[in-house]
Structure 1
Amino acid sequence: MLQAIVGFHQDEEQHWVADLACGHAQHVRHDPPWQNRPWVVTEAGRKGKLGAELNCLKCGGAVAPK
């Protein structure tokens, strides 16, 4: 289920996590070549993604909720 990004925070390992409108969170790592998200490493890049939608795996039932 697509959910809008409403903010970002870093986890205990300093990886970036997107806060979603549904209340869930999703990692948005820049870890080439597996995950190519260079926008996440700058404040301007993260601000530019506010409102963008990500597929929430928890809302979609692909991951058991905690």
Structure 2
Amino acid sequence: MRERPLITGFYQDDDGDWVVTLSCGHTQHVRHRPPFMQRPWVVSEAGRQAQLGQPFECGWCRQARAR
């Protein structure tokens, strides 16, 4: 199993949704929209800061490995 990339930063897209930048070079939207997405840490600056450096499953890398 490969190691998951780390969260290296955040920014907001044109719609105001948060996007993580990952150490693998990819980006991914992160939303807290219960019950479908449970990411309460994304709604506060402190929550996002606490996630910096944490592993995050990259959907783009996962798709590439599946091929």
- Which sections of structure 1, spanning at least 5 residues, go unmatched? none
Q: Which residue of 2 aligns with 1:59?
A: 61
Q: Percent identity?
A: 50
Give every structure 1 segment of 4 or more consecutive aligned residues whose post-TM-superposition deviation is greater than 2 Å.
none
Q: TM-score, normalised by structure 1?
A: 0.84
Q: Which has the higher helix share?
A: 2
Q: CA deviation at 1:55?
A: 1.3
Q: Secondary structure at the match of 2:46?
A: helix
Amino acid at match of 2:29: H
Which of 36, 44, 64 lines up with 1:42 in the alignment? 44
Q: How many residues align?
A: 63
Q: Which residue of 2 aligns with 1:13?
A: 15
Question: Which segment drifts farther, 28-37 or 53-62?
Answer: 53-62
Amino acid at match of 2:10: F
Q: TM-score, normalised by structure 2?
A: 0.83
CA distance in 1, matches of 2:60, 2:34: 25
